[in-house]
Amino acid sequence: MNNSVYKMLTEGWPKVDKQASNPQLVRALFSVFGGRDSELTLLNQYLYQAMVLREQNNMLLSELFDATANDQMQHIRHLGRLICRYGGEPRFISYIGGRGISWSSGNIYYEKNADRMLDKSILCERQILRQYKTILNSNILDTQPKQLIERIMKDTEHHINLFNTILNN
C-alpha cells in the first residue's frame, strides 16, 4: 500500500466546539457534504472504482482508491459534526435556488478505464476544493471550524497530487 495515503489518515483532527447557529453556513456545508460534487459523491465514486479495479487485477490503484474512500468517510464524519455544531442536521442534500436536492447515485461517474477514473477524480477533488475555498472566503467561520476545513482541504490537495503523480507515470 502507498504509505503517503496512510499519512493522511494519521494526522490529527482539530477539535470544534459548539458554534452559534448559522443556517446560511449549514446550507453551504450541505453542498460539500452531500451535494452533487461532494465528499459523499467521492466516497461512493472511490468505492466503485476500487471494486472495478480489483476485478481488473489492478491492485495498486484499487487499494489507493479504497484508502482514499476512507479519507472521504472521515471528511463526511467531520463535516456532519460541524453541521451539527452550527445547529443543523446532517443531510445528504444541497440547495440550488432555495430548493433542496437530494443526493443521487447518478452523481457517480461510472468508468472502467483507470486513466479516465484518475482524470475524473482529479476534477471532482478540484471542484470540492473550490467549494471549501468559497466557504473559507466567506469569513463567517471561527478559528476551530476554519482549521477543520483547512485540514480537509489538505487531504483533498494530497489526493489531487497522488492522482496526478500516478497519471503522469
74 close to 157: Cβ distance less than 8 angstroms: no
* CA distances (Å), origin 79, targets 11, 33, 69, 103: 17, 6, 15, 16
| Per-residue confidence (pLDDT) for residue 139, from 0 to 100 | 81
Beta bridge partners of 95: 100
120, three cell numbers: 475524473
Name the DSSP class of 86. T
Query: Which pLDDT score is estimated for 98?
Result: 83
Domain ranges across the chain: 19-104+112-168
Instruction: List pLDDT tens digits, range 2-31.
Output: 454 445 546 789 999 999 999 989 999 999
Superfamily of structural domain 19-104+112-168: Ferritin, core subunit, four-helix bundle (1.20.1260.10)
Reported as a pLDDT band with limits 50, 70 and 90, residue 55 is very high
- Residue 95 pLDDT exceeds 60: yes
Three-state secondary-structure class, residue 100: strand
Flag whether the pTM goes above 0.85: yes
Question: If you write DSSP's letter for every residue of 144-160 in order, what string do you get?
Answer: HHHHHHHHHHHHHHHHH
Strand partners, 94: 101
The Cα 34–Cα 111 span in angstroms is 21
